[in-house]
Amino acid sequence: FDAREGSIWYDGTMVPWKDAKIHVLSHGLHYGSSVFEGERAYGGRIFKSREHAERLLRSAELLDFKIPYTVDEIEAAKDLVLRTSGLTDAYLRPVAWRGSEMMGVAAQGNTIHLAIAAWEWPSYFDPETKMKGIRLDIADYRRPDPRTAPSSSKAAGLYMICTISKHRAENKGYADALMLDWEDNVAECTGANVFFVENGALHTPLADRFLNGITRQTVIELAKRRGIAVVERRILPAELEGFSECFITGSAAEVTPVSEIGPYRFVPATLTKTLMDDYTAEVQPKAVAA
Ligand code: PMP
């Protein structure tokens, strides 16, 4: 991934992709002082670019560092990266981290770096295949108590147990893993939020202990626009038995139907399809009325 063509925005300048490197003594690498975003452009426009830039700044503040750019500057940098790439449907990855001046747990004066890369990510998927749903394992690791870690930050360190959990799930033949929280409630997947359907209403875990995804918030808004009831609450794994449909949401996952979670089975149906279609329509740049 590091030897591609193209350019990466790095601390304010565009550098050749293969030269966008960090020093091995970077604090972000040793102590996990790194935050990032994952977002997408559709038809040449970055979906909810501002919300992602705001979340990036907030994620850093939760890790006690300040990214030296404003929301407007970050948005402009992302637009430049997208335009320079020549792509219309792309994935964008802003990442910010503490640099290498001091090596130790404390590194108050270290430079804060910001880089932004974009790569091709076609938005087309085959709805029929997607409607079959993906299979999820249930992870061993729990999402941490907000008193244990800054759980609303999109911090690199919080992904350590996600990668372990996703690898374990993949090795067992699953697409991903559902993670519970430290109190054994349903929480989220390793890179997406989760929704369930019961009697025509959406049920989703309260996002007070894991990332409240921008896609999650978008889907809740889309459901409400259609008059679909949305219940945000604690959900126990045993309740999965009573849900008819299940899907996950994320900038990368969009709305992805789920057919299986451990011993539980779901049949992706009308409500999931409706929200998949609504989300697809929502992310498209709106035509300006003549
Ligand atoms: N939870 C986790 C752990 C994630 O990595 C993501 C992807 N950023 C999400 C939820 C969904 O967030 P969003 O909809 O903002 O992409």
User: Could you tell me if 103 and 162 lie in one domain?
Assistant: no
Among residues 97, 120, 143, which one ends one of the domains? 120
115 in the same domain as 136: no
* 277 is a domain residue: yes
Contacts of 1 (CB under 8 A, 6+ apart): none
Q: Among 48, 130, 154, 166, which one carries the catalytic annotation?
A: 154
Comparing CA positions, the residue from 264, 270, 272, 284 lying closest to residue 248 is: 272
- Split into its structural domains, the chain has a count of 2
> What average pLDDT is seen over the chain?
96
105 & 135 share domain? no
Which residue, chain included where needed, has tokens 């449909």?
A: 245
Residue 24 lies in a domain: yes
Give the model confidence (pLDDT) of 203-226 as tens digits.
Answer: 999 999 999 999 999 999 999 999
Mean pLDDT of 200-204: 98
ipTM: 0.99
In a domain, 289, yes or no: no
3-class SS of residue 46: strand
CATH number of 196's domain: 3.20.10.10
Please state, in angstroms and rounded to a whole number, the distance separating the CA atoms of residues 98 and 137. 34
Q: Do 164 and 72 share a structural domain?
A: no
Helix or strand run (H / E) with residue 140: strand 134-143
Residue 156 placed within a domain: yes
> Average of pLDDT values for 100-124?
94
Confidence band (pLDDT; 50, 70, 90) for 110?
very high
Q: Where is the domain boundary, 81, 102, 120?
A: 120
pLDDT of residue 289: 59
Q: Is the pLDDT of residue 38 over 70?
A: yes
CA of 249 to the centre of ligand 1 (A): 8
The mean pLDDT value for 228-246 works out to 98
Pocket of ligand 1, candidates 59, 215, 220, 222: which has the most ligand atoms within 8 Å of its Cβ, to mutate? 215
**The predicted structure's pLDDT at residue 2:** 86
Query: CA-CA distance, 59 to 9, in Å (whole number)?
Result: 20
pLDDT exceeds cutoff 60 at 81: yes
| Structural domain contains residue 35 | yes
φ/ψ of 283, rounded to 5, equals -75, -20
- For the segment 105-129, the average pLDDT, to the nearest whole number, is 91
Ligand 1, atom 7: closest residue by C-alpha: 191
In a domain, residue 288? The reply is: no
> At 184, is the secondary structure helix, strand, or coil?
coil
Mean pLDDT across 29-48: 98
Question: Which of 75-79, 95-99, 124-128, 209-213 has the least mean pLDDT?
Answer: 124-128
CA 161 to chain centre: 15
Same domain, 277 and 176: yes
Q: Which residues line ligand 1 (CB under 6 A)?
A: 38, 188, 191-193, 211, 213-216, 249-251
Please, which pLDDT band fits residue 290 given cuts at 50, 70 and 90?
low
Question: Are 255 and 202 spatial neighbours (Cβ–Cβ below 8 Å)?
Answer: no
The two tokens of residue 50 are 């501002």
The pLDDT score that the predictor gives to residue 144 is 97
Q: What's the residue count for the chain?
A: 290
Give me ligand 1 centre to Cα 167, in Å: 18
Q: Decide: 278 and 222 in contact? Cβ < 8 Å.
A: yes
Report whether 208 contacts 214 (CB < 8 A). no
Among 105, 120, 135, the domain-final residue is 120
Q: What is the mean pLDDT of residues 105-112?
A: 96
Question: Are 138 and 114 part of one and the same domain?
Answer: no
Q: What is the CATH number of the domain that holds 28?
A: 3.30.470.10
> What whole-number distance in Å separates Cα of residue 14 and Cα of residue 20?
9
Do the Cβ atoms of 204 and 173 come closer than 8 Å?
no
pLDDT reported for residue 65: 98
Q: State whether 45 and 140 are in the same domain.
A: no
First to last CA, the chain: 43
Q: Which pLDDT tens digit goes with each residue over 120-161? A: 998 777 888 899 999 999 999 999 999 999 999 999 999 999
The yes-or-no answer on residue 286 being catalytic is no
What is the mean pLDDT of the segment spanning 249-278? 97
Distance 193 CA to ligand 1 centre (A): 6
Residue 60 lies in a domain: yes
Residue 73 carries which side chain, given as an amino acid letter? E
DSSP string, 185-216: -EEEESSSEEEEEETTEEEEE-SSSS---HHH
- Predicted pLDDT of residue 89: 96
Tell me if 1 is assigned to some domain.
Answer: no
H-helix or E-strand containing 72? Answer: helix 71-85
The DSSP output letter for 213 is -
Query: Whole-model pTM?
Result: 0.97
Examine the domain organization and report whether 163 and 227 are in the same domain.
yes
Kindly state whether residues 167 and 141 are assigned to the same domain. Answer: yes
Q: What pLDDT does 268 receive?
A: 96
For residues 240 and 148, state if they share a domain: yes
Phi, psi of 96, rounded to the nearest 5 degrees:
-125, 140
Same domain, 73 and 154: no
Q: What per-residue confidence (pLDDT) applies to 288?
A: 65
- pLDDT at position 171: 98
Residue the block writes with tokens 């372990």 = 164
pLDDT the model gives residue 55: 98
Same domain flag for 135 and 279:
yes
Residue with structure tokens 């997208």? 82
Gyration radius (Cα) of the chain, Å: 19
Range of the domain at 12: 7-120
